[in-house]
Structure 1
Amino acid sequence: MNSVLQSIKGRLFLWIFLFISVLLIVRGTSIYYEVQKDIYDSVKLGLHSKIQILKGLLQEENGQISLEPSEIILGDYSIPRSGHYYKVVLDGNILAVSPSLAGDDFHLASGELESLDEDLGEKVYISTGPANEPIMVVLHDFHILNKDVVIYAARSLEAGNAVINRFIQFIIVTVPVYIAIIAFAGLWIAKRSLKPLKMFYSRIEKITHRTLGERIEIDLQPEEIKGLARSFNGMLDRLQKAFDSEKRLIADASHELKTPLSVIKTRCDILLQKDRSVEEYTRSLHIIKSTSDTMRRLIDDMLSLARLDSGVLSSADFTTIPLNDCLKQSVKLAEVLAEKGGINIQTSLAEDVYVSGNLNTLTEAFLNIIENAIKYNRPGGSVNIAVSKKGGRVGIRIEDNGTGIEKNDKEKIFDRFYRGRASRNMEGTGLGLSIASAIIKAHSGEINVRSEVSKGSCFDIILPI
């Protein structure tokens, strides 16, 4: 049963089965009561007409009331226990009685009161007749010549009940058949309706890491599945982009690590060829150490990117932090590098600016951009850092008057391991701006660059307050 409920097809079948079952049962019950009401109303109308006839046959002569029954004792009313009865009572005494009741001391109004019509002065009873048959009795009382007159007219319900019973038997037989037919039709419809979905996931199963370039043909799908196909294709796009990025990262990392490893190996091979002087050993060890430091920075940057890609920087873990503290810490960490190049760092910070984020990662992002502005600056140049509020956002501008960025390089400077022509001989890993961009975006921010060759670059960062 659980497997059926866990299946869409099974749930559709059960819902159709339950809906049709309830619908047919409710409709069958409704028709049953409608048929019974129509039959009883027909009998009631006939009895009402009979009472009116009996009432019209009452005659008054010399202050006496009599009934001439010769016109109505024919037919079923003349046959004993025929199921058609009448009785006329005058001041408690029987004035007339149908031959069908002759010899029976039977009270016609002894049953259950079904309805009362005060305007017509009629009461309707469901009772049991002289032959133990179900009957309907209509009682009409009125006054004539200050005398109480009560007319009873009754008729057997056996024929009507027989029709109702046949209808019940019909319902009992046909409703389950209809339910079964419609349920299996619903199962067939469910199978046909879900066939495109089956074809859809069969198509999905064929897509592997080797065939990530394949996509679901959206136009060929039913309207209900187009949204799912579009979402799935979007997921494949993101997966392919992630795989491509991973492949590119591995390839770039291998390439970047290959050069320093070659330097270290070459130095070691030279030192091991023959005995060297202390000065030669010292010089080679310095080269190996410098190369190792480059490798360490590269690995650290790669780990930072990997953590950012994994979503470790989540807004759920952000706290309210003072933006000035991030920038001051970044400037302090960059001072040593700035002093070596004779670069002057100037700041113009706004007071009481707080952002939601991670203090350490934002400091790292600003530091990477500031170090980039120092490295590609001219001797004795400057780096200006300014903060300004803009509505519900804060803008940070980091501007230098260095070498600038060529137009062809400007669109790629945030790509991983990308290094422009002017920076290929400079020390660095090519990951600093990529890390900065990823951190800013993780904080729901934006980063843009404006640059002009030989005049400098300006990085504009916008963060929500």
Structure 2
Amino acid sequence: MSSRWSDRLRHALALRLGLWYFGLFLVSAAALLGLSYVLVARTLADEDHGVLEDLLSRYAAEYRRAGPEGLQVLMEADTADGRHERLLVRAMTPGGDLLYLARSPDLATLPLDGFDDALARRRPWSVVAGAPGPSVLEVGTLLLPDGVAVQIGRSSAGRDALLARFRSRLLELALGVVLIALAGGVLITATGLAPLRALEATVREILETGRLDARVTTTGSRDALDRVGVLINQMLARMDALVGGMRGTLDNVAHDLRTPLTRFRTIAERALVKGDDGAALDALATAVEEADRLSATLTALMDISEAETGSMRLAHAPVPVRRLIDDAVALFSDEAEDKGLRLSAEADEALVVMGDMTRLRQALVNLIENAVKYTPPGGQVEVQAQGAGDHVVVSVRDTGDGIPPEDLPHVFDRLYRGERSRSTRGLGLGLSLVKAIVEAHGGQVSLRSAVGEGTRAEVVLPLESRA
């Protein structure tokens, strides 16, 4: 069912995209062709007006040179030799009497009312209807200095025929444009939806195989669809890492919980076999201890999971770094003294970060606990905080045994315990929890260590904004 709907959606999207391109291309092409037609028609009209203006100028010059007789001769020549198609010329006296009239044979029956109206209104240009066929006459009127009016009417038949041929060519071109628009729509749809098809194929592969290592193919063009593909790949990579982490955690938890559960069973069986009240009490005490260990393991795992997935509730408030360090160090002062360690703290009173005081103290306590635990008697543990630009660096340095190079890359892994720490009680979750809490606050944690020289843990947190 989902495949059928996805096919329908893809086809509907492809159809809409193709139709949008087809429509926009046609509208643009129609606008361009229409503009071309208007420009050509205007150019031809301007040329016709230029011809009439030249004739009027010739007639005015001839009238001034040779008078009415010379004008009549010139008009007869222009209308008789066929140089000008469908031409009508006339001259009128200032009183409105006809001085001379000459016209082409095909305009012999044309009424002159339009010419009279143009002369009465003193219009230099006017259009006279009634010419044979669909064409009109464009009339130019010129008043000479002595009041004589010269009028020329020229048919637009030649221009109309040329425009008719131009329109037929435009229609042929429009058919080609339609074909190009169709081909372009198909091409644009095919290329434009290619990333979506790749995305669909990747998602379908993930659904069918359950593999999160599949990735969407990207082109590196950095367009919108390519950026979506990059973001989806980043999301898949994060999901793959989270699912892998969950699987690893479940494996580790199953392994880590198997031992205390076995102890539960062994302790209970021994108490039942002995049937002794003292043995039963010892068994209950050991069971409570193992239950606390299980509870601590599960609580730490839940805290890490919440921090890594962004669901941990953090009570953000200004946290004085000096107070944070003093509170954490105070918890280990007696233990350090009993062990013969020198535990010191140093921080500027002005350093303030924005975060959850309880969670940040929890992270710092884990770091100090590790330093105190793995530093031999007579050693030193230093906790310091310094400002570094818009960040604060909190460091915990010890003079302990150090961490072997082969263990150092894995110290932040959940439930990981190096060979040297297996003899010491612990969950292997402390540093994982520290990393999760610090990163939930927008910070970073790092560890530097050398065998026999000690370990230095650094937590970098953004300072409180003073805007």
1:423 aligns with 2:421: yes
Distance 1:45 1:447 in 2: 86
Distance 1:297 1:367 in 2: 15
Q: Which residue of 1 aligns with 2:293?
A: 294
TM-score by length of 1: 0.81
> CA, structure 1 residues 5+176, in 2 after alignment: closer, same or farther (shift >3 Å)?
farther
Q: Is the 8 A contact 1:4 1:11 kept in 2?
A: no
SS in 1 for 2:115: coil
Q: Which residue of 2 aligns with 1:189?
A: 187
Q: Which residue of 1 aligns with 2:117?
A: 110
Distance 2:49 2:121 in 1: 11
Identity in percent:
22
TM-score by length of 2: 0.81
The residue correspondences of 1:2-401 to structure 2 (distance < 5 A) are 9-55=14-60, 57-58=62-63, 66-67=69-70, 69-70=72-73, 72-73=75-76, 83-92=86-95, 93-98=97-102, 106=113, 108=115, 110-111=117-118, 123-128=124-129, 134-143=136-145, 147-164=146-163, 167-168=166-167, 171=170, 173-174=171-172, 177-178=175-176, 180-194=178-192, 196-197=194-195, 198-199=197-198, 201-208=200-207, 210-215=210-215, 231-276=231-276, 278-313=277-312, 318-335=316-333, 337-338=335-336, 341=339, 343-379=341-377, 381-401=379-399
Q: Which residue of 2 aligns with 1:450?
A: 448
Q: Is the 8 A contact 1:319 1:358 kept in 2?
A: yes
SS in 2 for 1:377: coil
Q: Is the 8 A contact 1:83 1:129 kept in 2?
A: no
Displacement of 1:112 in angstroms is 11
Match for 1:124: what amino acid? W
Q: Is the 8 A contact 1:89 1:149 kept in 2?
A: yes
Q: Is the 8 A contact 2:416 2:428 kept in 1?
A: yes
Displacement of 1:364 in angstroms is 0.5
Distance 1:68 1:412 in 2: 111
Distance 1:26 1:113 in 2: 40
> CA, structure 1 residues 159+113, in 2 after alignment: closer, same or farther (shift >3 Å)?
farther
Match for 2:254: what amino acid? S
Displacement of 1:369 in angstroms is 0.8
Q: Which residue of 2 aligns with 1:120?
A: none
Distance 1:113 1:244 in 2: 97
Distance 2:336 2:121 in 1: 106
Can you list the C-alpha shifts for 1:93-133, whole angstroms capped at 9, x where unaligned? 432222667996645152599998xxxxxx22222357796
> CA, structure 1 residues 102+21, in 2 after alignment: closer, same or farther (shift >3 Å)?
closer
> CA, structure 1 residues 203+441, in 2 after alignment: closer, same or farther (shift >3 Å)?
closer
Q: Is the 8 A contact 2:382 2:397 kept in 1?
A: yes
Q: Is the 8 A contact 1:21 1:179 kept in 2?
A: yes
Distance 1:438 1:115 in 2: 93
Distance 2:65 2:226 in 1: 89
Structure 2, gaps ≥5 residues long: 1-7
Q: Is the 8 A contact 1:4 1:10 kept in 2?
A: no
Q: Which residue of 1 aligns with 2:3?
A: none
Q: Is the 8 A contact 2:346 2:384 kept in 1?
A: yes
Q: Is the 8 A contact 1:343 1:379 kept in 2?
A: yes
Count of residue correspondences: 446
> CA, structure 1 residues 89+332, in 2 after alignment: closer, same or farther (shift >3 Å)?
same
Distance 1:327 1:250 in 2: 34
> CA, structure 1 residues 423+55, in 2 after alignment: closer, same or farther (shift >3 Å)?
closer
Q: Which has the higher strand share?
A: 1
The correspondence for 1:464, drawn from 459, 462, 465, is 462
Displacement of 1:341 in angstroms is 4.2
Distance 2:175 2:429 in 1: 73
- CA-based RMSD of the aligned residues comes to 3.8
Displacement of 1:354 in angstroms is 0.2
Displacement of 1:176 in angstroms is 6.0
Q: Which has the higher helix share?
A: 2
Match for 1:360: what amino acid? T
Q: Is the 8 A contact 1:110 1:127 kept in 2?
A: no
Q: Is the 8 A contact 1:319 1:357 kept in 2?
A: yes
> CA, structure 1 residues 283+40, in 2 after alignment: closer, same or farther (shift >3 Å)?
closer
Q: Is the 8 A contact 1:129 1:156 kept in 2?
A: no
Can you list the C-alpha shifts for 1:217-267, whole angstroms capped at 9, x where unaligned? 668x99977766555444433332222211111111111111111111101
SS in 2 for 1:394: strand
Can you list the C-alpha shifts for 1:318-345, whole angstroms capped at 9, x where unaligned? 3322112322222334456546645553
Structure 1, gaps ≥5 residues long: 117-122
Can you list the C-alpha shifts for 1:136-156, whole angstroms capped at 9, x where unaligned? 11112222xxx3222111122
Distance 1:180 1:259 in 2: 77
Distance 2:115 2:181 in 1: 50
Displacement of 1:298 in angstroms is 1.0
Displacement of 1:270 in angstroms is 1.1
Distance 2:297 2:239 in 1: 25
SS in 1 for 2:140: strand
Q: Is the 8 A contact 1:395 1:463 kept in 2?
A: yes
> CA, structure 1 residues 383+112, in 2 after alignment: closer, same or farther (shift >3 Å)?
farther
Displacement of 1:174 in angstroms is 4.6
